[in-house]
Chain A
Amino acid sequence: MAALWRRRLLGVSGLCRTVRALSGKNEYDLLIIGGGSGGLACAKEAAQFGRQVAVLDYVEPSPQGTKWGLGGTCVNVGCIPKKLMHQAALLGSALKDAQHYGWNIAQPVHHTWSVMAQAVQNYVKSLNWGHRVQLQDKKVKYFNMKGSFSDLHTVRGLTKAGKETIVTAENIVIATGGRPKYPMHIAGALEYGITSDDLFWLKESPGKTLVVGASYVSLECAGFLTGIGLDTTVMMRSIPLRGFDQQMASLVTEHMESYGTKFLKRCFPTKVEKLESNRLKVTWKNTDLGTEETDSFDTVMWAVGRAPDTETLNLEAVGVKTNSETGKIIVDASEATSVPHIYAVGDITEGRPELTPTAIAAGKLLAQRLFGQSSELMDYDNVPTTVFTPLEYGCVGLSEEAAVQCYGSDNIEMVCLREREQRILGLHFIGPNAGEVIQGFALGIKCGATYPQLMKTVGIHPTCAEEITKLHITKRSGLDATVTGC
């Protein structure tokens, strides 16, 4: 009897889908708006459960007209191109190092932007293609359309040519990410400035560049531009790398300064004008001196933050709540928005780290919960990350400031340790290959590693990572942390 009952239930649900398809309603089990890291991961995972899945992806051209293919920020205008350009800069230092190691490189050594950009762009395009193929292989329907809600289960897709398609789905995931902000109040900002959305797709060298902002995007871009030999200036209004450990942040910027990146600190731009020479004249205010200063640049890049791409989604139509200040979508622990069958993952969600691997993990877990009888939630604690500044900075866990705030300064030992059990709260590493170094330690911290356990780990000689197993000077002690010899 029980078996029969079960069979009948299966039959019913099977029937439902047919009915929906026939009536032209809810043709998909899952619709994803946004084909970036999180959206694609969620789509592919859901497809593996044999579900009908569709992805809507559309890249609104940047104000300068730059656009790109499937894959979202990370692949097209984020992690991938930036790390490759960072690598180009590192290879510039390698060329200098190489001479000390016996390689006879005749001077002069030049860098040609277009060669690098072409190589990077070709690789990115191969990834775009790879994503297309993967969706096809997994039988995920892909629409190159901009999506907006028309009702709870219906999304209107609009192609570049203005052709409209209606897509209906049982569950909908919003994963449209964020885009760089423009300081709209500054005259000439929008007209003459570019953002990271344009930088990686420039065909010609940006030349003498002003990068405005103190975010990791700003410092990373300024770092590699300097590294490939461009005259680069960073203008920042207040502190670098807000939210990151501030001691580490100043080490990063000090290193950049010593390698030729110029910094205009406590300055903010007031206008950008185009000169007859086609150069850009930037006027700014120096808040230290109370003076107004100007200089001319070939390129002005804004890296003043990113804003969620929610405006065109028509969220009001379905009642998905956003944070009115940030514009980000409010989600619960299961990534559900205020509307139960509508979810959101990635950079668009409020209070979540804006990182590719978290978006991917969140998207996958969501698909598993929706279709795979899983109940596992995404754990956003102790997510490791790396800033690819010339001197790389990797970290996991709390910054010193945050740790002091959580536990009080009396309970914090060094950057990373709490007394008594000495569980590691945060680990910060500055040096080459910081990402490679920090990944394994992130795992240790996830497992609640303690300082004694770290000390019991034998180092690998000679590597940079072994230093972490040898940390013994507490910051509190004020002892000199300079390494002498081996």
Chain B
Amino acid sequence: MCNLHNGEGAQNLQEGQCEVTAETSQPVGFVQEKQLGDHEKTLKAHKEGKPQKLLEMNGHTPVPHAYDYDLIVIGGGSGGLAAAKEAARYEKKVMVLDFVTPTPLGNSWGLGGTCVNVGCIPKKLMHQAALLGQALQDSRKYGWQFTEEVKHNWMTMTESVQNYIGSLNWGYRVALREKNVTYENAYGEFVGPHTVKATNKRGVEKLYTAERFLIATGERPRYLDIPGDKEYCISSDDLFSLPYCPGKTLVVGASYVALECAGFLAGLGLDVTVMVRSILLRGFDQDIANKIGEYMEEHGINFIREFVPIKVEQIEEGTPGRLRVTAKSTKGNQIIEGEYNTVLLAIGRDACTRKIGLDKVGVKINEKTGKIPVNDEEQTNVPYIYAVGDILQDKLELTPVAIQAGRLLVQRLYGGATSKCDYVNVPTTVFTPLEYGACGYSEEAAVEKFGEENIEVYHSNFWPLEWTVPSRDNNKCYAKIICNIQDNERVIGFHVLGPNAGEVTQGFAAAIKCGITKEQLDNTIGIHPVCAEIFTTLSVTKRSGENILQAGC
């Protein structure tokens, strides 16, 4: 997973880490709170027929064999594949149906879903490309000498990113085969109880039945529904494999997808404008969201606020061509026009639930959002149909959450486990130029839930040591924790804005899971000199209004 650098370091780095890490997580198996042991033991027990007995004891009936499969998973993304592979470990007969409907511009991709193909993986690699651009500038200050002009080649980057993705697609295929999971590159839709129709690229249809189903079809980018959007605009589904440099780009939207893409495009040296309807990063801590926006603006990204596009026209065809965008103020009748080479829409994502025959089997969806409500065991209103991942209503749209939910679901279904996916205190990171890691409540949400007087916010700016020599971005990085005064100053929100924010946040997320308090945080010894140590010395409360600029060591 850490094999993100295609450089010469990657191989050995990975070899090093391989000693301590592993791909698939199969935690401990539980049967009615009684621990069976680690997964090896669970598997052993399974082979000896123990889970079967335990399942029967739990009131389940033995698996009937009238269906083609024990489990059919619709959607081969992070959640679906994790669940499928897990089920195969319990020697279940499993099928995965995965089909990528091409984008309006005709792009499609391989097995693995959004994260691998058009999400986390390519975006973090391109973010890394942008960070390396910054590293080039820094490196001169650290004594490295090379020619003045260094240009970025979009195709070199895109090809290596796509090659890496290709290797992951292949890896998934192999993993499914090794685990005897049947994979069909076909579009799955329900046609009747316990029955799906699979339609492949050539239009050949097949019917399959299964005892249980898992819907994991994920989401796809939303379009504006204005003249020219589908003809001329691209989405994140197109960007990462774009066969030419996008040039001067307008990014429409203020989602994390919008800001991440705008960030790395600008980092690669492109002229980038972000058009925002209202606020940045809705749902995230707004204090932080604004700091992210400020930083991006300071680093050359233009923002057009409170405007929405109403028309996109092509001025000239080409790779890239030239587009004219007409936009209207959200506050009045003001109309503006702008010329760009590329318009990237990142205004949100819609669940792929309306064309998979859910009405045929009676699975309820939220008509407005298209999302599927499930109970705390990922079960839909139709008992034999489950759902995980981005299509769930009121759950988090994150790869590791989908994976965890999928695995735990299967362990409950086939392994006699009782552990449920915990959607609370899930950490996440936004890979904007200044990365943002968070876990728990945003300041707004904490104020709303506990009341302003009952929360204490500790915060500080910091200056990463590595940035001192190039003498850049002093006091831009920021650390904030939110504590519940009523509960012994328990930490209920963690926010960090700075390099490697994801790496920093992960461990604190584990600690928050253990219910850490401010006092325990203060009693933890820092690691010197790293950014994360700032969290062990936070002493200024936001309420006090005291100075948080860092001077010296």
Contact = CB atoms under 8 A, between A and B. Distances in A.
A binds B: yes
B527 interface: yes
A467 B153 contact: no
Given A259-B12, A472-B25, A439 B507 contact: yes
Interface string A23-60: 00000000000000000000000000000000000000
A255 B521 CA distance: 34
A371 interface: no
Interface residues on B, range: 35 or more
A105 B144 CA distance: 12
B268 interface: yes
Given A101-B129, A103-B152, A441 B510 contact: yes
Interface stretch (A144-152, A299-307, A473-481): A473-481
Given A447-B516, A470-B22, A458 B124 contact: no
A246 B119 CA distance: 38
Interface stretch (B90-98, B288-296, B376-384, B396-404): B396-404
Contact of B2 (A112, A447, A464): A464
A115 B140 CA distance: 9
A92 B222 CA distance: 41
B279 interface: no
B272 to A, nearest CB: 17
A448 B133 CA distance: 41
Nearest to A440: B507
A471 interface: yes
A127 B553 contact: yes
Interface stretch (A83-91, A286-294, A308-316, A334-342): A83-91
Given A115-B143, A447-B520, A464 B503 contact: yes
Contacts of A111: 143-145
B45 to A, nearest CB: 15
Nearest to B269: A103
B17 interface: yes
Interface string B388-431: 00000000001111001000000000000000001000111100
A202 interface: no
Main SS of the interface on chain A? helix
A435 B504 CA distance: 9
Interface residues of A, number: 116
Contacts of B549: none
B515 interface: yes
Nearest to B142: A88
B315 to A, nearest CB: 27
B67 interface: no
Given A438-B507, A486-B168, A391 B524 contact: no
Given A100-B6, A112-B143, A441 B168 contact: no
A417 to B, nearest CB: 10
B445 interface: no
Given A102-B129, A463-B429, A391 B468 contact: no
A317 interface: no
A327 interface: no
Interface string A242-259: 000001000100110011
Contact of A459 (B13, B129, B400, B511): B400
Given A460-B505, A461-B115, 4 more contacts: A108-B146, A119-B469, A432-B503, A436-B532
29 contacts: A84-B466, A97-B8, A99-B7, A102-B157, A103-B132, A105-B146, A109-B145, A112-B143, A115-B142, A116-B142, A130-B553, A228-B143, A258-B12, A259-B12, A361-B525, A436-B531, A439-B508, A440-B535, A444-B507, A449-B513, A458-B404, A459-B400, A461-B1, A462-B4, A464-B2, A465-B507, A469-B400, A483-B17, A486-B121
